[in-house]
Amino acid sequence: MSAPAVEVRGLTKSYGAITALSGVDLRIEPGQLVGLLGPNGAGKSTLTKLICGLVRPSAGSATVLGHPAGSMASRARIGYLAELFRFPQWLTPDEVLRLHQRLACSGGGAVERGALLERVGLVDLGPRRVGEISKGMAQRLGLAQAMIGSPQLLLLDEPTSALDPIGRRLVRDILVGLRERGASVLLNSHLLSEVEQVCDSVTIIDAGRVVASGSVDGLRGGRVVEIETEAGIERFEATDREAIPARIRELVDAGRSVYGVRESGSSLEDAYLEAVKGAGE
């Protein structure tokens, strides 16, 4: 059996008097796409940095593919996109990737660089240097950088925060592609719909503690559907898929006209609000 992509046990991190994480457990299986959710200041970025070895834990342990987090062996297997990052202004995007190829010991050469830039939609940049590209372009470049050397684990801290809608779509496709080749991903995001669409499981943290964790379907419970009839809009929580046509049939049998049926918001959102509110009380 292969080692989990990430195994975090009892991880605690204090910055002086501030406790950023306390006793966090997290497990990511190979090929699994895990969403990390939580309010601002919950400790998501801190957890991500602990896994990639930028920050040292105060207590607890973390391993990456069986190697202690922060060790050379673990770092050789990860790709990381930080939440706030910058590449040297005076390098071209291609040079940034070349530097990271050398550091990651990737022998992919110009072929890999070209493919990655194309994958993130950064083509036809011309002679532009990093200092001359837009924020979203820089984030795309950061994502390409994280994928250098086809790492087995990607740690992405809000990779779509600066992206346009097409860019966000692109990232979703990239994530699905990564899963298909067997890579694991920890996706840190505030976009619940994004997490809902691509992640296999979700961990919600609040104030440094895990407050909910499980598969996306398990967490969100039923789907909330809005059904529009001449009597107005009825909100209806469907515990399973078949409940939706059943309810519509009921309405039609009762002589109502159904003008529209749509999914109301994200029910992951309800689960999220529930988990975070519950922890705050």
Ligand X SMILES: Nc1ncnc2c1ncn2[C@@H]1O[C@H](COP(=O)(O)OP(=O)(O)OP(=O)(O)O)[C@@H](O)[C@H]1O
Decide if residue 28 touches another protein (CB under 8 A).
no
Helix (H, G, I), strand (E, B) or coil at 158: coil
Q: Name which of 58 and 197 has its Cβ closer to ligand X.
A: 58
46: three-class secondary structure by DSSP: helix
97 binds another protein (CB under 8 A): no
Closer CB to ligand X, residue 46 or residue 74? 46
Among 2, 3, 9, 18, which residue interacts with ligand X (rule: CB under 6 A)?
18
* CA dist., res. 203 & res. 213, Å (int): 4
Give the other-Cβ count within 10 Å of 240's Cβ: 9
Nearer to Mg ion, 83 or 94 (CB): 83
Question: Total residues at the site for ligand X (CB under 6 A)?
Answer: 12
Q: Could you give the angle at the alpha carbon of 82 between the alpha carbons of 99 and 219, nearest 5°?
A: 140
Q: Report the alpha-carbon angle 62-66-69, nearest 5.
A: 35
How far is residue 128's CA from residue 136's CA, in Å, rounded to a whole number?
Answer: 15
State the nearest-atom distance from the C-beta of 31 to another protein, in Å: 21
Closest approach of Cβ 10 to another protein, in Å?
A: 19
The residues binding Mg ion (CB under 5 A) are 44-45, 83
Among 93, 142, 159, 208, contact with another protein (rule: CB under 8 A): 142
15 binds ligand X (CB under 6 A): yes
Residue 38 interacts with ligand X (CB under 6 A): yes or no = yes
Q: Name which of another protein, Mg ion, ligand X, none residue 75 binds, using a CB cut-off of 5 to 8 Å depending on partner kind.
A: another protein
CA distance 237 to 58: 43
Question: In a 10 Å sphere around its CB, with 0-12 CB exposed, 13-18 middle and 19+ buried, how is residue 52 labelled?
Answer: buried
| Residue whose Cβ sits closest to Mg ion | 45
Judged by CB under 6 A, the stretch of 13-21, 134-142, 217-225, 253-261 that binds ligand X is 13-21
Q: Which stretch binds another protein (CB under 8 A): 68-76, 119-127, 197-205, 241-249?
A: 68-76
Say whether residue 258 binds another protein (CB under 8 A). Answer: no
Identified binder of another protein from the candidate list 29, 94, 99, 247, rule CB under 8 A = 99
Selection from 145, 151, 100 nearest residue 120 by Cα: 145
- Sketch the per residue contact string, 74 through 103, with ligand X: x for CB under 6 A, - otherwise: ---------x--------------------
> Of the two residues 105 and 166, which places its CB atom closer to another protein in the complex?
105
Residue 91 or 191 with smaller CB distance to another protein: 91
Q: What is the amino acid identity at position 209?
A: R
Answer yes or no: are the C-beta atoms of 46 and 67 closer than 8 Å: no
Q: What span, in angstroms and rounded, lies between the C-alpha atoms of 144 and 96?
A: 10
What strands, in cross-sheet order, belong to the sheet with 184-188?
A: 78-81, 153-157, 184-188, 33-37, 201-206, 209-215
Do the beta carbons of residue 216 and residue 197 sit within 8 Å? no
| Residues making contact with ligand X (CB under 6 A) | 15, 18, 20, 38, 40-46, 83
| Residues making contact with another protein (CB under 8 A) | 15, 49, 52-56, 72-73, 75-76, 78, 80-82, 84-88, 90-91, 99-100, 102-105, 142, 145
